Structure 1
Amino acid sequence: DSHLKAFMASLHKLQENEVMTDVTLILPDQSAIPCHKVVLMAASPFFETMFQSGLKEGAEQNIKLDFADSHTIKILVEFFYTGDIELTEENIKALVAGSEFLCCKHLKAHCEEYLVDTVGLSNCIDYYRYGQVFNLKLLIKTAFDFILFKFREYKEISEFDKLTEDELVEVVSCDRLNAENEDVVFEAVVHWVNADPDAREEVFPRIAPLIRFPFCSQTAFTDNI
């Protein structure tokens, strides 16, 4: 491990000093990063394909990249050379998208672990959707399970009011829904409908069959109808 760290540090130093660099990445802000093709190829199947395909772009000295903002690309290239990366709430989504574009499976998995560890009331719905966009299966499961587990706190779940009809049906119809009684389910659905009554009142009859009304209290009906 110490040998690997020393090797990576030397490699990074060579890059910083532009020793034997043979390609320059041009970023959206027009800044430039001199690199070694062999390092980019070893780190990313995207670059491996580019440089070995025989395409004109792979033979050019300057390669323009615009798949992400300049700051994100710089973080990714530094990761290629050092193996170090700091994941934050601010950069995580851009890095997931960047790792997807560059076909960096290990980095994408590392980013997914970070997302899974930070699922909470403020982001569970956002992360559930984001996981579907980038096929992050563990994140999808973790976020969905969190929504089910915290369902009785639905008023505290960010974006709950913005669930689609299909998403709400998926949650309410799940056997693992953690609601202390059926009143909570009924109240949550009414709360969701009232957030956009013009569009959702016609949806209610499609969701209503999922509520076990015989188990609802008279108070729930009185308070919500």
Structure 2
Amino acid sequence: MRRHRCNQVVRSDSETESESDAETMRCLSCKEEYAARDAGTCKECYEEAGETEEELKREIEDLKAKVAFLRFWSPLDHAHRGSPTSPGPVFPDVVLVAYDDGSPGLPPVPVPAHKAVLVNRSPVFKAMLENEMEESRSGTIKISDVSYDALRAFVNYLYTAEAWLDEQMACDLLVLAEKYHVKHLKGFCEKFLVSKLNWDNSLLTYAFAHQHGAKLVLDAALSLITDNMDKLTKKEEYMELVEKDPRLVVEIYEAYLSKQVNTAVHKDT
């Protein structure tokens, strides 16, 4: 199907010449003249644009239907914190346990899942569960330094590709996504963190992104910092970073100097 962009028109030479009694226009897509009464585009291109719009709508609906068909029902749709071992009709065959649950004195709460889903979503889980490792034999995967809520959200994402994020949850899920090589989730969290980036959180975000290899967040935070170098040393987080990880401070200044050099070169050319 021929596709055009007909949102602009130009007047033909006949406007200034009285060769025709009726004023004509020229379509920028097909370059053909048409009567001005058609107001904006030739009839053929207008109809073709309408067909294209309908075709795109059908494709979108088809994609939505495929996503709905392929979506797994998460065992978390049936298991709640008060009854974590009530799987309903989904029959999980493995549980994940958070060992930073924030509930002192209480046993860790398991998060039910299916081995087939974990193996399909993460190469780390795949290696863990397809070999004769402790997790494969026991059916329990212990994950340290993670809250129950973050682990639950992580497992739910593996089934649904959906997650509710705030800045803390985005950081927690990004760490899990990096650890278990879930690239789609990591990219999702990175985009969210970039959308929340501002001067106040720029240094902490930069340090976090550097630690976890979040390049999209790293580049955005570094760009914001180097654009505001006159305010950098006044930040409380700056002195903390100097003491804890001076290497990152050096990298910030190197990036700033590189930006200055590039700006000077562009001005000269």
TM-score in terms of structure 1 length: 0.67
d(CA) in 2 for partners of 1:69 and 1:100? 16
Give yes or no for the alignment of 1:83 onto 2:189.
no
Aligned position for 2:74: 12
Change (3 A) 1:27 1:130: closer
Aligned position for 1:22: 93
Structure 2 residue matching 1:76: 3-state secondary structure: helix
Residue 43 (structure 1) shift = 1.7
Aligned position for 2:131: 53
Change (3 A) 1:116 1:138: same
Query: For structure 1, which segment, 55-64 or 163-172, has the greater mean C-alpha deviation from structure 2 after superposition?
Result: 163-172
Give yes or no for the alignment of 1:124 onto 2:202.
yes
Residue 50 (structure 1) shift = 1.2
d(CA) in 2 for partners of 1:63 and 1:168? 38
Give yes or no for the alignment of 1:142 onto 2:220.
yes
Residue 172 (structure 1) shift = 4.6
Q: How many pairs does the alignment contain?
A: 176
Paired residues of 2:205 and 2:221 also in contact (CA < 8 A): yes
Flag the structure with more relative contact order, 1 or 2, with Cα contacts below 8 A and sequence separation at least 6: 1
Structure with bigger helix share is 1
d(CA) in 2 for partners of 1:157 and 1:48? 44
2:92 maps to a residue whose letter is: T
d(CA) in 2 for partners of 1:111 and 1:148? 23
**1:126-205 mapped onto 2 (5 Å cutoff):** 126-154=204-232, 157=235, 159-164=237-242, 166-172=247-253, 174-176=257-259
Residue 170 (structure 1) shift = 4.5
Change (3 A) 1:38 1:151: same
Query: RMSD of aligned C-alpha atoms?
Result: 2.6
1:115 maps to a residue whose letter is: L
1:52 maps to a residue whose letter is: E
Give structure 2 stretches of 5+ with no counterpart: 1-63, 79-87, 102-107, 261-269
Residue 168 (structure 1) shift = 4.7
d(CA) in 1 for partners of 2:93 and 2:240? 49
Change (3 A) 1:144 1:160: same
Residue 19 (structure 1) shift = 2.6
Residue 80 (structure 1) shift = 1.2
Structure 2 residue matching 1:176: 3-state secondary structure: helix
Structure 2 residue matching 1:24: 3-state secondary structure: strand
Query: For structure 1, which segment, 153-162 or 119-128, has the greater mean C-alpha deviation from structure 2 after superposition?
Result: 153-162
d(CA) in 2 for partners of 1:5 and 1:120? 36
Residue 135 (structure 1) shift = 1.4
Change (3 A) 1:38 1:159: same
Aligned position for 2:110: 32
1:5 maps to a residue whose letter is: A
Query: For structure 1, which segment, 160-169 or 105-114, has the greater mean C-alpha deviation from structure 2 after superposition?
Result: 160-169
Aligned position for 2:44: none
Give structure 1 stretches of 5+ with no counterpart: 178-225
Give yes or no for the alignment of 1:2 onto 2:65.
yes
Aligned position for 1:98: 176
Change (3 A) 1:156 1:116: farther
Give yes or no for the alignment of 1:43 onto 2:121.
yes
Change (3 A) 1:127 1:57: same
Paired residues of 1:15 and 1:34 also in contact (CA < 8 A): no
Identity within the alignment, %:
24
d(CA) in 1 for partners of 2:236 and 2:176? 26
Aligned position for 2:105: none
